Structure 1
C-alpha cells in the first residue's frame, strides 16, 4: 500500500511542478513586458517631442504627460513587486496588458484617434496576448482592442497643424504608418524571440519533470513487484532453514566434516537471503520488526564497506574513508542499497579489484567507486541512468544505475560516470551532507 501511495504522491508532485514551471515562465514574461513598457515610455516622449517641436502639431501636452506619469508609476510598481515575487498567473499578465491597452487608448484619444498611425500598435498587444495568455484571455484582448478602435473612430481629439505648416496630415500619416510598421516589426521580433525562449525553457523543464515522474512510477511498480516477491520467498526460505537445521542433527552430516562445512556455507547463504528479503520489505515500507538505527556517518560507511568485503567474492577491495568530520545519521536502507549497487556493478566488471573512496568537501560528500574493467561504452555514457541500458546482454539488465540515479536525485545529489585513461571506469556519487543527517 505504501508503494501505491508513493505513486500517487509522484503524480501530485508532477502537477505541482508543472504549475511551478508555468508560473516561473510567466515571471520571465512579466519582466519582458516591464522592459517593453519602458521602451513605450521612451517612444511616447520622443514622439510627443517630435510631433510638437519638429512638425508643429498641437497636442494637449499636460493630459498626455498625466497618462505617461500613470504608466511610469505602474511600471515602477510592477518592477518592485515582480522583482521579489516570482509567481505570475495568467490573470496577472492579462491585467498588465490591459493597463498597456488603456494607456495606449488614452494617448490615441488625445492625439487623433484612428487618424493617428500609431493606432496599429494595438496589433502588438494582440500578438503579445496570443503568445503569453490563455485562449479565453486572448480573445478578450481582441474584443477590448476592437471596442477601443471603434470608440476612437468616433470620439477623439483631432490633430491640428498650424495654418502655415509645410506639412500635410496625409503625408504625416503616411510617414507615421512606416514608422509604426518598423516599430511593430522590430519589437515583435525582439521580444517574441525572448518570450519564445522562455516558453521553450518551460517546455524543456516540463518534459524533464514528466520523464522523472515516469521513471519514478517505473521504480514504484518495480518496488511493488519486489515486495510481492519478497513476501512469496519468505515461506520457502523458512522451510529451507528448518530442513538445514534437521540435516545438521543427522549423523550423516554431523560426522562428515566436508558435508558439515558445506552445510554451514548453505546456512550462511540462506541467512544472507533472509537479510536481503528483509531489506526489500524495509525499502517498501513493510519492515519485519527491524527499525532504523542511529549511528554516525563514518561508522555507517565503514560497516557498509566491511559487509561488502565479507559477503562478496572480491580478490582486491580497497576502501579509503577521507571524511574528517563525523556526524550523527540514521542508517537508511535505500541509501545503503544504492551504494552497494554501484559497488556490485564495479565488481561484476572487475572481479579482481574494486576501490571505494569517501571524500568530503564542505557540505558535499563524494562517494567514488573505481574499477579496472572494460569501462562504459559511449552509448551507455550518453544515456546514463536510463533503464535497460547495459552491456551484459541479459533480459532485464541495466536497472542498476537507473535505480542509483533516481535515489541520488531524490536526495538532491548527482551521479557522474566516466572511463579512465589507464583503463577501467569511475562512478562518482555526490550527495549533500544534509541527506545523511538526523
Structure 2
C-alpha cells in the first residue's frame, strides 16, 4: 500500500507566520515592560510610564484581537501593516526614552529582517525607508532622558549621524541578501515540486506498465496457441480444398496478428518506450512510413511536409512512431478535417510539428499539456502524456499551442543524435 505525502499549503504557511509574529510581539511586550520597570524603579530614571505602558497595552490588545479572530492566511499588505504597527510602537517608546541615543534603537533591524523574509520586495524596501527615517527623526526630536550624573554620556552629532548611517547600511544589506536568499529558496522549492510531479508521473507509468505487462502475459499465451492451431488447420486437406474455409482461416489469423499488434501498443502505453523492434532506416523513410501506416485507415487526409535535407540514417523504434500516431488520433478527436506533419532541422535538433484545423486546446489546459488526465473533449489526455514521456526518454521536449488561423500545433523537439546512426563515408 502506498502512502501519500502531505505538503503544507500556502495558507498553512501564512497561518504559521501569523502565529510567529504574534509570539514575537508577546516577547517584545514582555521585554519592553521589563526594561521600562528596571530603568524606572531599578536605576531611578524617571520615565513617562502612562504613555509607555499605554503603547504596550495597544500591542497586547492587537494580539488578543488576532487570537480571537483566528490565524487565517494573511496577505502581504496585512503582514506589512502589522509590522508597521510594531515599528510605530517601538518609535513611540524610543521617542519617550531618549530617541536615537537609546541603545534599543537597533531593534528596528528585527522588523527589517522579518519584512525581508515575509514581504514582497517593494514592501521590504519601504520598511527600510520608514525605519531609517524614524531613526533619523528620533535623532532630532525626542524626549531627553533625565539620567543620573553617573549615567550621563554626551554623544557628539557626528557619532549620531554615523550610527544612523551604520543602521541604514545594515538594513539595506540585510534586505538585499535576505530577499535574494528567500528567492533562491522559493526557486528551490519550485524545482523540488517539479521533481515530485515528475516522480509521480513516472510512478504512474510504472504502475501502468505492471498492469499492461500482466495483461500481455495472460493474453499472449492463448493468442499464440490460437495462431498455431489455425496454422495447423490451414494445412488440413478438407480446409485447403475449400476456398471459403481457407479464406476464413486466413482472416482469423490476420485478426490474431492484429490483437498481437494491439498488445504491443498497450505495452507502449504502459511506458515501455525503448528497445522495441528497432529498425535501421532513414529519416525520410521513417516519416513516410508513419504517415502511410496511419493514412491507410485515416478518416481525414494527412500531409507530410518534409523539409529535411539531406536524409540521415537512423535507428527508429516503434515508440516515436506511436507518439506521432497518438497526436494524429488526438487531432481527429478534436474535430480536425486535415492534419499536416512538418519535419525540419534546427541545427542538431529535429523538429516535428503536428498541425491541425480542429477546435484546438482549451486555454486553461495549455499550461498543463503533457500531464496525465489533463484532458477535455477538445484536447488529448494520455496520448499527449505518453508522447511527452517518449520525448523525455529521447532527451527532447513537447510543446503545444493554438494556431492563430484555428486549430492546434504540437511541436516535438529532440536531438537527432538520439536516433541517428554514424554518417556513412
Q: TM-score range by the shorter chain?
A: 0.5 to 0.7
| Cα distance change, pair 386–243 in 1 and its aligned pair in 2 (3 A) | same
Distance 2:233 2:366 in 1: 50
Asked if residue 432 in structure 1 is aligned to residue 410 in structure 2, the reply is: no
| Cα distance change, pair 356–269 in 1 and its aligned pair in 2 (3 A) | farther
Distance 2:186 2:414 in 1: 30
Deviations 1:336-379 (A, max 9, x none): 32222212222333475332221223222211222333322223
Residue 253 of structure 1: CA displacement?
Answer: 10
Aligned residue number for residue 402 of structure 1? 385
The 3-state SS of whatever aligns with 2:171 is: helix
Deviations 1:107-159 (A, max 9, x none): xxxxxxxxxx9xx89x89xx79x98xxxxxxxxxxxxxxxxxxxxxxxxxxxx
How many pairs are equivalent?
A: 280
Residue 324 of structure 1: CA displacement?
Answer: 0.7
Distance 2:215 2:274 in 1: 13
Deviations 1:20-63 (A, max 9, x none): xxxxxxxxxxxxxxxxxxxxxxxxxxxxxxxxxxxxxxxxxxxx
Answer whether contact 1:248 1:254 (CA < 8 A) is retained. Answer: no
Distance 1:281 1:199 in 2: 40
RCO (CA 8 Å, sep 6+): is it higher in 1 or 2?
1
Answer whether contact 1:413 1:429 (CA < 8 A) is retained. Answer: yes
Aligned residue number for residue 338 of structure 1? 323
Q: Which runs of 5+ in 1 are unaligned?
A: 1-116, 132-166
The 3-state SS of whatever aligns with 1:390 is: coil
- Of 333, 343, 368, 2:353 maps to 368
Answer whether contact 2:336 2:359 (CA < 8 A) is retained. Answer: no
Distance 1:374 1:265 in 2: 38
The 3-state SS of whatever aligns with 1:241 is: helix
The 3-state SS of whatever aligns with 1:365 is: strand
Aligned residue number for residue 253 of structure 2? 267
Aligned residue number for residue 413 of structure 1? 396
- Of 176, 188, 191, 1:190 maps to 176
The 3-state SS of whatever aligns with 1:359 is: strand
| Cα distance change, pair 261–347 in 1 and its aligned pair in 2 (3 A) | farther
Answer whether contact 2:239 2:246 (CA < 8 A) is retained. Answer: no
| Cα distance change, pair 364–247 in 1 and its aligned pair in 2 (3 A) | same
- Of 218, 222, 226, 1:236 maps to 222
Distance 2:274 2:416 in 1: 27
Deviations 1:390-433 (A, max 9, x none): 2259xxx8211111122223333222223334443222212222
- Of 339, 347, 363, 1:378 maps to 363
Q: Which runs of 5+ in 2 are unaligned?
A: 1-102, 118-152
Answer whether contact 1:370 1:424 (CA < 8 A) is retained. Answer: yes
Answer whether contact 1:227 1:284 (CA < 8 A) is retained. Answer: no
Deviations 1:266-315 (A, max 9, x none): 4334213223434665864997xx753332222222222222223x3434
